[in-house]
Structure 1
């Protein structure tokens, strides 16, 4: 008998609790002590909850601009590809028509 083939009873897991609301999250954050490990981790990684520096704001602004520019380029590329696909489809239909015409002439 294969060990993997044994029937094992699996208990039913309890359903997941509902995610906390925004108010509950804010209340939890406000109740946290200043020495809470989460805040010390954020300080170590440079993600302190204090006001972001001007360089952080500039960096985010540049990232947003790059995103918008890339998104516009992708939209243009999509339009170009759709147009080229339609042109190829039309060329394929014309080629098929030409092939049928040539076949008809050789009979």
Structure 2
């Protein structure tokens, strides 16, 4: 029976901390494509009768944008937790697999 060399994989690095993420985001250029919002259609005509004034429209746009960012942040945090749990499950499965392999080797000898 031939023996194969055991391949040792490097350990996966820990996810970045909140401070590292904030530092990375703060160090980006304002024109970074990740942070550029899609262009909104230009307003060709003056405000229609009964429509809100431009300052109110800008305030509403900023509010919607802020809500969108908060929602994205919440989804990112949930994804991070989900990935952490999946990583733990993979580590448990790997350990169980290693134990099974060791048992099989003992029985084979």
Match of 2:95 in 1: 93
Task: Give the RMSD, CA atoms, in angstroms.
Answer: 0.9
Match of 1:68 in 2: 70
Match of 1:103 among 87, 105, 108: 105
Q: How does the TM-score come out when normalised to structure 2?
A: 0.50
Match of 1:3 in 2: none
Query: Number of matched residues?
Result: 56
- Max radius of gyration: which structure? 1
- After the TM superposition, list the runs of 4 or more consecutive aligned residues in structure 1 that deviate by more than 4 angstroms: none
Match of 2:7 in 1: none
Unpaired segments of 5 or more residues in structure 1?
1-51
Aligned-pair CA distance for 1:103: 0.5
Paired with 2:57 and 2:104, the residues of 1 have a C-alpha distance of 69
Unpaired segments of 5 or more residues in structure 2?
1-53
Match of 1:56 in 2: 58
Aligned-pair CA distance for 1:92: 0.2
